[in-house]
Structure 1
Amino acid sequence: MTKGEETKQFIIEKAAPIFNTKGIAATSMSDIMEATKLSKGSMYVHFENKDVLACAAVDHNMKILSTKLQAQLSQGKSAKEQLLAYIDFFSNPLNPPVSGGCPLLNFGTEADDTNPIVKEKVNTAIKRGQQLLSAIIEKGIADGEFSPKWNGSEFATVLFAMLEGGHLMSRMSGNNDNMKTIEETLKKIISENSI
């Protein structure tokens, strides 16, 4: 990696949690300059404007989330263990795996009407998440772990939506009570569809 590439990556790594916590609109280049201790000129050498940097920060936050999630899922030896690991991964929104909270929820909420590029990035990540869950369930059906009548695609949508909704509720209330209820409900559905 060249010195310029290292600096660019350094800026992204410092900017990513700020954008995820404050949002794209509320984050200023001054915030990023303060975090990086770099001048405005240095910032603009690597990023033509804040929107370009924000997109790189969104990608970085999504990559962190994906990498940590994959590490957790890889510990599951069966499809059921992987589904439970997925739920456990998102079960504590007050101590989220990515600094500032869930980037899908944070950036998706902000970008839905304001930033079509970020909106598409989040939408793509949501689809990938649902496809991952559906594939885990389909593998579990093929391996005889789950009922062949279980619709993996539908449950993937339900699981994803419930966890994201629970994340929002927990962050707003300041406690994980609602998430615990959601977690128990999802685990019950998995158990009911296990053979």
Structure 2
Amino acid sequence: MNANSDESPAIRLTARGMRTRTRIVAAAADLMRVQGIGGTTLDDVMVASGVSKSQLYRHFEDKDALVRAVVTHVGEFVVARETNMLGKVSTLAGLRRWRDSLVKANALRHGMYGCALGSLASEVSDHDAVARQMLDELFQTWQRLIDEALARIQRTGVLDESIDTSRLAVGFLASLQGGYLLAQTARDVEPMAIAVDVALAHLESLTAPGRAAS
């Protein structure tokens, strides 16, 4: 993670202090996911995490520092999830299973709250340069994971070797993020499913001559 994040104080914490810090960040992440960053106060976080004001300020000097810690926390979760799901994808069928998993998870919330990273980005990118850079790095990591999956599919001969998988990865991630946003406003996962399906249909149209999509 970016060197400007607030991870360095955590290195000096005791095990008990680290548990307290983790509890604060997890509570803040849950609140901000539902209420938004602007709608979540430090008092809310204190109540939800069960810590005192002195404990909170021992770990975070202000709300910006806490938000950056939430970005790290959410980012680690998303990157771990995407690494697990995309890390072994080497077929179009595997990519469809990735799509199905994300759509199903969002359907359980009826599309509410959008993408965990996307929601954070929409609130902080224009107001906190450090958090914006952290989020940019996380999205680049996500994009790279998609690119690597597409490159593995390409190496099997299914996709034409002239295709730039890095550009396709940008399109896939943009379709996914737009789908999350439309599902969030519609309270219906269908727009998300359609957005990703359109990206998949485009990918299938790029199959190498003589190779069926698989």
Say whether the fold is shared (TM-score over 0.5): yes
* Contact 2:82 2:142 (C-alpha < 8 Å) held by counterparts: no
Matches of 2:43 and 2:160, distance apart in 1 = 55
SS in 2 for 1:113: coil
Contact kept in structure 1, 2:28 and 2:45, CA below 8 Å: yes
Does the 8 Å CA contact 2:92/2:153 hold for their aligned counterparts?
yes
Tell me how far 1:94 sits from its aligned partner: 4.2
Amino acid at match of 2:193: K
Name whichever of 35-44 and 13-22 sits farther off.
13-22
1:62 Cα deviation from its structure 2 partner = 1.1
Residue deviations 1:45-97, cap 9 Å, x none? 22222211111111101111122222223464x2434432432343243436x
- CA RMSD after TM alignment: 2.1
Partner residue in 2 for 1:51: 64
Q: What is the rounded CA distance, in whole Å, between the counterparts of 1:51 and 1:136 in structure 2?
A: 35
Q: How far off its partner does 1:147 sit?
A: 1.6
* Residue of structure 2 equivalent to 1:175: 188
Secondary structure in structure 2 of the residue aligned to 1:91: helix
1:111 to 85, 109, 124: 124
Take 2:61 and 2:97, find their aligned partners in 1: how far apart are those partners? 40
Q: Which runs of 5+ in 2 are unaligned?
A: 1-13
SS in 1 for 2:183: helix
The partner residue of 1:84 within 77, 80, 96 is: 96
What CA distance in whole angstroms lies between the structure 2 residues aligned with 1:64 and 1:101? 15
Answering whether residue 157 of structure 2 is matched by residue 144 of structure 1, we say yes
- Are 1:69 and 2:87 an aligned pair? no
Aligned residues: 192
Matched, 1:128 2:141: yes
Note if 1:9 corresponds to 2:33: no
* Paired residue secondary structure (1:90): helix
Q: What is the one-letter code of the residue matched to 1:84?
A: R
Normalising to structure 1: TM-score of the pair? 0.87
The answer (yes or no) to whether the contact 1:33–1:43 under 8 Å persists in 2 is yes
Provide Cα deviations, 1:23-64, integer angstroms capped at 9, x if missing partner.
222211111011111111111122222211111111101111
Q: Assess, with a 3 A threshold, how the Cα gap between structure 1 residues 61 and 153 changes in structure 2: closer, same or farther.
A: same
TM-score for the superposition, normalised by structure 2: 0.80
What 5-or-longer segments of structure 1 have no aligned partner?
Answer: none
Q: Distance in 1 between matches of 2:107 and 2:155?
A: 36
Does the CA-based 8 Å contact 1:20-1:100 persist in structure 2?
yes
Q: Secondary structure at the match of 2:103?
A: coil
Deviation at 1:120, TM superposition (A): 0.9
Is this contact kept in 1: 2:86–2:145, CA < 8 A? no
One of 37, 58, 75 as aligned partner of 1:24: 37
Match of 1:38 in 2: 51
Asked if the contact 2:172/2:196 (under 8 Å) is kept, the reply is no
Residue in structure 1 matched with residue 4 of structure 2 by the alignment: none
Q: Which runs of 4+ in 1 moved over 6 A?
A: none
